[in-house]
Amino acid sequence: MGLGRRDLLKLVGGGAAGFFLTPVPWRLIDGVAIRTESWPGVPDPPRGEVRTRYTTCTLCPAACGVRARCVVDQPVSLAGVASHPASAGVLCPAGLCGHHLPLLPNRLRQALARKGDNFQPVGIDAVAGAVATALADMRQNGSAERVAVLDARPGRTASLMYRRWLRAAPNGTYLLAPSAEATAPMGIDIARTGTVLSFGAPVLDGWGTPGRVLEARKTFRLIQVETRQSRTALLADGWLPIRPGTEAALALGIANVLIEEKLYDAAAARNASDFAAYAALAAQFPPQRAAQLTGIPAQTIIAAAHDFVGHGPAIAIAASDPGGGPLGEDEQIAIAALNVLSGSIGREGGFLPRGEASRPAGFEEAALAPEQGIAEVPDASIRVLIIDDARAAGTWCWSAIERKLAATHIVVAMTEFLEGAAQHADFAVPAPAYLEAGEDAPAPPDVPAAMFSLAGALLKPPPEAVDGAAFLNQVAGGGPALADVLKQRVAAIHASRRGEVFHYADASRTAVRDVKSAADLWKALEEGGCWIDHQPTPHEKPLFAILGDAPDRVLEAASGRLPADAQFPLALVPYGWRGAAGGAISPIMTKLYQESDLRPGGDTIELHPDTARKYGVADGHVAIVQTRCGSCQRRVRVDESVMPGVIQAEVGPSASGNCRPEALLNACGVAGDGTWRLARASLRRA
Amino acid sequence: MFPWVNGFKWDAGHVIFLGAFYTVVMIVLATVVRALVRSRHHVRVEKVEAFRWKQDFHDLPARDRRCRHELNGEVDSRLCENGFDCRSCAKHPEFVQAAAARADLPKGELFGFPMPLDRLYHRGHTWVRKEKDGTLSVGLDELGARLIGKPERLDLPELGQHLNANATAWSAARNGATIRVLAPIEGTVLATGGPDQGWYLKLRPDGPQPDTRHLLRDGEAVRWMSRELDRLQLLATHGACPALADGGALVEDLGAALPKNEWAAVCGEMLLEP
Amino acid sequence: MDRSYIARGLERCTTRRFLMWLLPWTLLLAFGLYAAGLCLFKGLNQTNMDNRFAFGLWIFLDLTVIALGAGAFFTGFLVYILRMHELKAVINSAVVIGLVCYSGAVTVLMVDVGQPLRAWFTFWHPNVHSMLTEVTFCITCYLTVLAIEYLPLLLKNRRLRQVPSFLVFEFELHRVMYVLAGVGTFLSFFHQGSLGGLYGVLRGRPFAFREALGVWPSTFFLFVLSAAAVGPSFVLLTTWLVEKITGHQLVERTVMQKLGRLSGVLLIVYVLLKTIDTLVWMNRTVPGEGFSPQQFYGFEPFGVWILFAEIVVFGLLPAVVLLDARRRASQAWLLTAAGFACFGVALNRFVMTIQTLALPTLPFDRFLSYWPSWQEVGTFLAVVAYGVLVYSLSYRYLILFPQERDLKAR
Amino acid sequence: MAANKSARYGMVIDLDRCTGCGACMVACAIENNVPPANAKATERTGITWMRVHRLGNGRPFPDSRAVFFPILCQQCGHHTPCVAVCPQNAVEVDAATGIVDQMPQRCLGCRYCMAACPYHARYFNWWDPAWPAGMEKTLNPDVAPRMRGVVEKCNLCHGRLHRAESKAAAEGRRDIAANDYVPACVEACPAKAITFGDLADDQTEVAQLARSEGAFRLLEKLGTESKVYYRSERPWVHQAVKSGIGKEPQRG
């Protein structure tokens, strides 16, 4: 018996040993190895049919063509549309991850009403009701107060609808965003431009239509006038590091050289009614004086002037930087005048008047409220303010808008996120996000030819979301839906029989006159396409005044914007990058400002080593930037490329997330014309 | 790892590296297994006690492993290599012959310390006496008795159990320590006594003429004992105890006289337990 | 009360005092285990390591600890293979030190890898050309060997040896110990070496990269040599420390001096070869990779002084002292020299690991700084505490120093 | 270019065109399901298979100049540092494409390869990969996200290579068409600064650019035969690269 048991044990033991000599257990272990891949924290990408769909980017005025790779209906990646007439197959970082925006956790999904310092849910009809009663009240006692729509993305069909609606409303006022690029009166024929003299415009870092500009970069020379060694300055053929706020002086200095040396386009000058006055003004800024003011050596200024007209066609631009705000009107005049001297206005390779896609009947200019800048509206005059796309307004100075509001007022923000201006509103109304709104994209600001493209919705908006038009209809109790007006507009374009359709899918083009019906045109645009008019032909140059009514203001501007100030010895130069300067951004953008040091981030300031030493701060310290209008706390980065005596502050997202741009922007203070480019500041370690 | 596992290549690197690895594993495994098997075998054939003594003897400090013939003054310095079992010692007979000439008549006591010479002494402080009936009585000698005194517990072997020389004959527990006593000679247990009887065991020898060459007798025993007393004194004074305080007479019961730990250590030393 | 577990004739403090001694170490161990737990369950984001400082405190200390633990294999080699019997006096202690160092190092490595559950992949899909594979295989094998070498000590415990089969097994093991010592020496040679190779093969780290001799970079042999050199020194130091703490003399002074001398002889050879290696590196290897040696010492605080300290102050100096019989005779000199030798090797491991990673390799790189997080420090303290506990228990209940009793009897 | 005839995929990055916008980094992260940063992540613990660095000329304002340096796995072709060191063969060089491939499912996270890589192109998952709730929907179905505690790096968009291969197979072609396989960063670069293709095929634009004047590789003397080339007309850039380490960068 005992013996039997022993045998049994032997058998089992031997069996076990034998088993381990076979591949079986090892195979099993191999399998286990693979299994360790499935780990709790790792999400499983959804599978499904992969399709390619097309739309147009509406995150900035560039209106780039978008090719979306979708799993079933969900876009999983965005890319440019190759050989797109404007964007030339390019998307910017923000555009590449635009499909994340609708899914952001802080998405606004229902209307909110302000209660004290925080918001409470409310029905949209209640919001509309509040606006309606306010309007009724204004009508009743015919008050002089205004109803205003502040449009962050002008030039859309929706903008036209606002303007028509405002026309009917009491003192309806249509306001343009302080730094609206879309409203440039003329386009640039960049493909044929010979020289670009840029006053702080981020030409290579998100200006106009990036694809188009970068493609043309091979052919134009770039002279960058900028305090900051921006990305554009780094890649420019010449960089003129200019003392903050003295752009006008440089412009006049260059003008001086050109006029003295008779290097300007006399023919073009003859069209200017007040050229003599302008020349006289320029005469006050010989290179030496300009050098004193701008800190750029006289020789360099002279050389720049020669450079400028040396390789025509030459244009001078002073577009805005999304964080730094636009240059003051007067600087703009001084700079624009250079285009008269280079004769680039209305000629190939220069500025060409922008065409516009035909409008449907009832939207003639006469039937619409005029476009106005915030500066043009008297203070304390707005009773009802409706802000469209408040998110894009992330870099406005609220103080500029606030001072326009009447004592009792309602501010309604149509927005996807409770960001930017929306935080100051009385009501926040959820709007469809990017890729959710079936709307049109305005023609890019720098493209002379008229363009029209649909930003077809790839995703369903949240049930509560309403677009601006629908909201106004609700207020007014009826009116056409945006979609219908869009259809009308497409019909109008079809009727005009002008231009051609570019199809995103295969980069083919069809002349509009070959498109059978308006419906077909609509289909073509909705499936992914854009309509583009012929390149406008140069026309007779009209008579115009260079300085207009502002010769002394220009002179004042040219004498320097930043008077010395013992209490605030430093110059605060804010700057931002298109697509991230505003409120919400995709979390993937952390790659740029948190997981790398590619972008300093919105919680930092950059100083020259000497400046830092002088004010007792070092790399990594936290410093307080103080101006007359406010202050903000930021981490110091010491950088040899910064101009001594200057504080560079990025307006944008930050790893710490605790830094909102407002603090900085408000500290910058706002000029009468609603710009905030510069401020005097002092610095101390926190 | 193995030819059938993903990533394995039959190249020199793999063959050499893994070859070396498996060899090492095999060697280690083989060594351990061998040790296990052998030890299992020894346990089965009850060689345990032999091993225990072997080790104990090996672990004894050199001064406690002196050859009996050195103690006897026949050689200057010699260490025992046979665990005090002279029967398996090649040199022993030579010494005996050499010593044969030298005959002396010792007296049966050592500074008033009884040392009967009718018996043979083992270096573990036990004695063996051949009885008329051919059995062997085994007991503790005077020193051993005084060391252990009255044990609280006594583990004596069962009747009929066979003991080997130098195996544990019995163990006595006292002061929280157990002291083992070595068997002076092999034999089968016939009866067990205790401190009061004056003897502990009665053994039936394995053969008619038990071989007792390894045991100490007569003068040799006396000389050994006197040396043992010196050793005890050394240990005791080291522990500062009253052992020989009164001019040389050993106290009756060291177990009571010494502090517990001290006593255990001394017992270990004297009864050849490391 | 645990008297019956303590070998007869050994003086040990009372149980109460012993527990008091264990208490703080136990607390430290608990704290360290908590820290390690954080790293295991929350991930290595608990440490201050990063993509650039991929290795930190842990790897540095692992290398150091294993170098110091080399006393185990080297003493074993001397006793069982070269039959230097006087070293029997410390072999047991050396084995315990070795066991502690290696098991500790392996434990930390387990925490150090991102996916401990996959640690066995190295055995499963071994890349035989990787130094780390060599290290993993050898260390695990050698740890097993050490455990087996530790077994007899354990079984010799006064209580355990009452169990017949233990007694016999211990006896049998003891008889084959020389085989294990041989295997241990073989394994140690390779993993001490491949630990050196670990950094020597990094072509991408010109500061660490060394020319190959055969299949191994020169650091392979330097590490073996330096480890063998400090092994005895460390055994010497620990023995002295235990003597100080317990107040007993544990080994003959001559044994200590013997250890010192061994260290000295090996150390002087090491210093010589290390110097040659450094010269070859400066004049051949580095220029060949398009750098100049000065570039590596341009970053404070790691100036040339660190090289000088490593080779002269903590290499040549102690070697000379240990080789001088008169100095060796003085306890103070002996111990100081041994201490210097150990520190020198620790410094060498530090330079190889930390300094290598701190140095930039690309034009836009920065010289990086790194400071371990408390979780990293805690995890290491756990190993220290664990070591002290194991050694204390072993010292109390096992016979680590065979000479102790005789020396006491004197 | 061919997947079966052994190709050597590589790229030439024109530093004079790179504007440092970061589109490549974003596109890469989206294509390869690289998670957004953990709140505690820094530029030393983040995951950026493609990372744009800024190299200054070390001179003060107004003479300071800088260039943007996109760094990705340099796809070393000769004693590839990371391959030799990996203890469990988790890194392999694909003979057919020359792509250095990291197998996260076999990596145990010892990070030895990271210490070995002189280009710092390897990244460790210090945290569990986490996307904001609901955003998992936007993951690329062709690429499996990696778990915490393993190393990952650029593999020249393996997902895209497979897609191109299966497309070729579907159309019964043996070789994949050049424009079917373009890594995300190359596709996304607005400045068209990156030229990608088969270096083994002399006819390709990339091969010619790689041999052109002003083209260079990082740490060329290490003899790693990397397949990522850079080019610049600016002399100081070449200077800075030659002078190697030793200059503090301007940022950070």
**Residue pLDDT, tens place only, A145-169:** 999 999 988 889 999 999 999 998 8
Contact A316, A567 (CB under 8 A): no
Long-range pairs of C294-297 with CB within 8 A, sequence gap ≥ 24: C295/D244, C295/D245, C295/D246, C296/C206, C296/C207, C296/C359
CA distance A558 to chain D (A): 23
On chain B, the residues whose CB falls within 8 A of the CB of C3 are: 176-177, 261, 264
3-state secondary structure of A464: coil
Report the SS3 class of residue A105: coil
A66-85 pLDDT, tens digit each: 999 999 999 999 999 999 99
Q: Which of A652-656, C59-63, C295-299, C368-372 has the lowest mean pLDDT?
A: A652-656
With a cut of 90, say whether residue A445 has pLDDT above it.
Answer: no
Interface check for C352 against chain D (CB to CB < 8 A): the answer is: no
Residue from A365, A403, A188, A325 nearest A676 by CA: A325
Rounded CA-CA distance A231/A201 in Å is 11
Residues in B closer than 8 angstroms to C7, CB to CB, are 274
- Angle, helices C218-246/C57-68, rounded to nearest 10 degrees: 70
pLDDT in tens, A235-244: 999 999 999 8
CA distances from B33 to B27, B38, C19 (A): 10, 8, 37
Neighbours of chain B (3+ CB pairs under 8 A): A, C
CB-based contact C4 B47, cutoff 8 Å? no
What is the C-alpha separation between D131 and D38, in angstroms, rounded?
9
CATH 3.30.365.10 fits D21-194, yes or no: no
Nearest CA in chain D to C132: D87
* For residue B246, pLDDT beyond 60: no
pLDDT digits (tens, 9 = 90+) for A563-609: 788 899 999 998 888 877 666 789 999 999 999 989 888 889 999 99
For residue A33, give how far its alpha carbon lies from the nearest alpha carbon of chain D (Å). 8
pLDDT in tens, A495-520: 999 999 999 999 999 999 999 999 99
Phi, psi of B123 (to 5 degrees): -75, -10
- For residues C246-260, give the mean pLDDT: 92
From chain A, the residues in CB contact with D140 under 8 A are 45, 76-77
Q: How far is CA D155 from CA C202, C245, D239, in A?
A: 22, 58, 30
Binding partners of C (≥3 Cβ pairs within 8 A):
A, B, D
**Contact check, Cβ <8 Å, D87/C132:** yes
CA distances from A83 to A89, A205, A635, B38, C320 (A): 6, 20, 42, 85, 77
- Residues C352-357, mean pLDDT to the nearest whole number: 93
Q: What is the mean pLDDT of residues B12-20?
A: 91
- Predicted ipTM of the assembly: 0.89
Compute φ and ψ for C216, nearest 5 degrees: -115, 145
Distance CA(C44)–CA(C104), nearest Å, equals: 19
As a whole number of angstroms, the distance between CA A581 and CA A652 comes to 4
Supply the mean pLDDT for chain A: 88
What is the pLDDT, as a whole number, of residue D249? 39
Query: A271 pLDDT band (50/70/90 cuts)?
Result: confident
Please, which pLDDT band fits residue B240 given cuts at 50, 70 and 90? very low
With bands split at pLDDT 50, 70 and 90, how would you rate the model's confidence at A414? very high
Each domain of chain C, given as residue ranges in start order, spans: 3-360+379-404
Q: What is the pLDDT of residue A583?
A: 66
Percent of chain A exceeding pLDDT 70 equals 94
Q: Is the pLDDT of residue B244 over 60?
A: no
Q: pLDDT, tens digit, for every residue of C355-390?
A: 999 999 998 888 888 999 999 999 999 999 999 999
Give this prediction's pTM: 0.90
Q: Exposure of D96 by Cβ count < 10 A (0-12 exposed, 13-18 middle, 19+ buried)?
A: middle
Does residue A653 or residue C61 have the better pLDDT?
A: C61
Calculate what percentage of chain A has a pLDDT beyond 90. 57
Chain mean pLDDT for chain B? 83
Q: Which tens digit of pLDDT belongs to each residue from A118-147?
A: 899 999 999 999 999 999 999 988 888 999
> Do A23 and B2 count as a contact with CB atoms less than 8 A apart?
yes
Judged by CB atoms closer than 8 Å, whether chains meet at C9 and B51 is answered as no
- Interchain pair B17, C134: CB under 8 A: yes
Which residue does chain A place closest to D123, by CA atoms?
A595
The yes-or-no verdict on residue A669 having pLDDT over 80 is no
Give Cα D161 to chain centroid, integer Å.
Answer: 15
Q: What is the mean pLDDT of chain C?
A: 92
Subunits with 3+ C-beta pairs closer than 8 A to D:
A, C
Task: Check residue D116 and give its pLDDT.
Answer: 95
pLDDT band at A57; cut points 50, 70, 90: very high
D123–C contact, CB cutoff 8 A? yes
Low-confidence ranges of chain D (pLDDT < 70): 1-5, 246-252
Who contacts D80 (Cβ-Cβ below 8 Å, separation ≥6)? Answer: D91, D93, D100, D224
Of the candidates A386, A232, A250, A370, the residue with the CA atom closest to the CA atom of residue A305? A250
Report the pLDDT value the prediction gives residue D248, as an integer from 0 to 100.
47
Interface probe, candidates B1, B2, B5, B6, chain A, greatest A C-beta count within 10 A? B5
pLDDT single digits (tens) B99-114: 765 656 566 677 677 8
Indicate whether A180 pLDDT > 70.
no
Which pLDDT tens digit goes with each residue over A322-350? 777 778 888 889 999 999 999 998 888 89
Q: What confidence tens digit (pLDDT) does each residue in C230-245 have?
A: 999 999 999 999 999 9
Q: Is A33 on the interface with C (CB under 8 A)?
A: yes
C-alpha distance from D193 to closest chain C C-alpha (Å): 20
Residue A219: both structure tokens together: 């052919």
Interface probe for D, chosen from C211, C296, C352, C364 (most Cβ of D below 10 Å), is: C364
pLDDT at A376: 85
Alpha-carbon gap, residue A274 to A276, rounded angstroms: 5
Q: Give me the pLDDT at residue B249, please.
A: 64
The verdict on C51 touching A (C-beta cutoff 8 Å) is no
Q: How far apart are CA C328 and CA C257, in angstroms?
A: 6
Say if residue B248's pLDDT is above 70. Answer: no
Cα-flanking dihedrals φ and ψ of residue D249, to 5°? -75, 165
Average pLDDT over residues C9-33: 93
Q: Which of C146, C156, C172 to mutate to test the interface with B (most CBs of B within 10 A)?
A: C172
DSSP state of A413: E
What is the per-residue pLDDT for C373? Answer: 96
Report the chain A residue with the minimal C-alpha distance to residue B4: A23
Cβ within 8 Å of residue A375, ≥6 positions away? A329, A672, A673, A674
Mean pLDDT for the stretch of residues C10-16:
88
pLDDT at A176: 86
- End-to-end, the C-alpha distance of chain A in Å comes to 89
State the pLDDT at residue B235: 75
In degrees rounded to 5, what are phi and psi of residue D117? -80, 115
Residue A1 pLDDT class (50, 70, 90 cuts): very low
For C29-124, strand residue ranges (E) read: none
Q: Which residues pair with A388 in a beta bridge?
A: A151, A414
